[in-house]
């Protein structure tokens, strides 16, 4: 029995849950939060770039106004 409307489990031939379908009209905000957290988790080990370096590079590439 599915207790949440708009959430459906996909099962394999042994009735094990293997995926989830989400009704984005009902739970679009929830999906965005889940997705953002997943991306953050995947990027945990990536090298960090200081904000000052990003701003400098954007200015040098002409993608950011020099007055900022």
- Global pTM exceeds 0.75: no
- Compute the distance between CA of residue 66 and CA of residue 55 in angstroms, rounded to an integer: 10
Domain-embedded: residue 2 = no
Mean pLDDT of the chain: 93
* Predicted pLDDT of residue 68: 77
CA distance 19 to 12: 9
- Residue ranges making up the domain that contains 35: 7-60
Is the residue at 42 inside a domain? yes
Contact between 8 and 2 under an 8 Å Cβ cutoff? The reply is yes
Looking at the 3D structure of the chain, how many domains does it have?
Answer: 1
Question: DSSP secondary structure string, 14-43?
Answer: T--EEEEEE-HHHHHHHHHHHHHHHHHHHT
Q: Would you say residue 36 has pLDDT above 90?
A: yes
64 falls in which pLDDT band (50, 70, 90)? very high
The yes-or-no verdict on residue 1 having pLDDT over 80 is no
Q: Side-chain half-sphere of 37: how many Cα atoms within 13 Å?
A: 6
Structural domain includes residue 28: yes
């Amino acid at each position: 029995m599915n207790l949440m409307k708009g959430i459906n489990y996909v099962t394999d031939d042994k009735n094990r849950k293997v995926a989830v379908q989400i009704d984005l009209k009902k739970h679009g905000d929830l999906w965005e939060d889940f997705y953002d957290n997943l991306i953050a988790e995947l990027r945990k080990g990536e090298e960090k770039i200081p904000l000052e370096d990003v701003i400098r590079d954007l200015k040098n590439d002409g993608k950011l106004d020099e007055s900022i």
